[in-house]
Structure 1
Amino acid sequence: MNNKVILVVLDGLNLKVAQDCMGYLTGLIEHKIASQYALQSELPSLSRPLYECILTGSSPIESGIVHNQVVRNSHLESIFSLANKQGKKTAAAAYHWVSELYNISPYNAQRDRHTNNLALNIQHGLFYHWDHYPDEALFLDGEYLRQEYDPDFLLVHPMNIDNAGHRYGLDSAEYRNSARRADIVLSDFLPQWISLGYQILITSDHGMNNDKSHGGTLKEEREVPLYLIGDHFSHKAHTIKQTELCGMVCELLGLTHSKPFKKECLK
């Protein structure tokens, strides 16, 4: 199996809010273009540890990235490192913690915000360090990278849903409306990506609580959505672990790897 993959991580998106507010994605499900699954995040339900989980297939306890203040390169093989070593092109429009994990740590905005270096794990990057950086701009960054460099693996990682959750909490109009806006932005890009045959995964790292935070074991902090779009997914009902996303992407990319994945989810 060898396909180009786009992974969208909608930071801080709670499962129930996704199901209630993301009408475009739900429409794709009703028209049998996408399938949706419920994932439980690994613990702690914090951002940097879960970026590492999604991109390496290892839990925070295993990776050692156990909170957001662990600022260092990942010690593990990631989708980016495996793809780079095996001759694939990689790109990311993402929060700067992703750059710190897989390229250079600590992040230096003047050096790292715009990255084009074939020797790095993320060869082509547009990174940001403002939590309020508009999702609309971030998706345009991702589309620029896709068109300009034609990567085999592209990560698109917007932050506005998480930012709204930290400012207003889970049960707020602002948080829900941020999810609705992300759904609208996705509707501007997904039709073209689908028509071009990309295998697309849309998920989140963690959810949100009414204390305007996350990190613990509450259902609303741990339950996140996973949408799968593409003709190499089985689209059948399965239980998928967050630690299996990395392996799934590696399989789609045709990479040699030892990451866990659920083979029943793929054709």
Structure 2
Amino acid sequence: MQYQGVLKKMQTENTNPVNYYLIMGNDFLHMNQLIDKEVHIEFIGYQCLACGENKKIYRQGYCYDDFYKVPQAADWIMKPELSKAHLDIEDRDLAYEKKVQLQPHIVYLANSSNVKVGVTRKTQVPTRWIDQGAHEALEIVEVPNRYLAGITEIALKEHVSDKTNWRKMLKNDIEDVNLIAHREALKEYIPEEAKSYFIADNDETHIHFPVSKYPEKLKTLNLDKTPAYDGVLKGVKGQYLIFEDDTVFNVRSWEGYVVRISLL
């Protein structure tokens, strides 16, 4: 059976374990059902997520030209503290920026390899944590716009990491920690503008991933260097496919690439 389509990040359901779906054109693959089965992945071409043309992907699923034009790739996406829609100031597309930035945002703690602080729209909870491969997470601040979330993250990352060690996450080299205790320790560092939005009475969210075997010595699948690959799928964590030979494939890193997937 073959499927062909442009890669986009997998859709998820926070069940136990998480259900993963890879959308392929008008069809989809339920990745959980492919665990312990042999899969063939073959690079076919490109399809920019903005213009739809077969142009080499530059970053985040976009061709070079569109990466520097579309609001979905603007600097405030990765650096929320640069958001300006609350000031009625346009970056690339004020209507889009208002739609995304002027809605409730969560500053959270997540543990995927270590405790880290992060920002996401409220509507993306718990999807954001699943995509990061976090096995536990906790909301600590809920603010009305992206800018406030960004400056809160900036303040807190002076005291806790804002990075994930993806190798430790994929090896499941993790430990459970008391995120509530971390929240209380960080409370005093929240900026004055966001202190009133502190969340004091919620519980941790725990996430379980569909993995039957974790890798020991990681090898990353690079479609530019290896346009065709066969492997037995052993699990999915974050946005990574994990294979029996310790190869891992980050679906999100290859957005905009058109692939053919065959079940062998």
- Pick the TM interval, shorter chain: under 0.3
The normalised TM-score by structure 1 is 0.27
Structure with the higher fraction of residues in helix conformation: 1
Structure with the higher fraction of residues in strand conformation: 2
Of the two, which has the highest radius of gyration?
Answer: 2
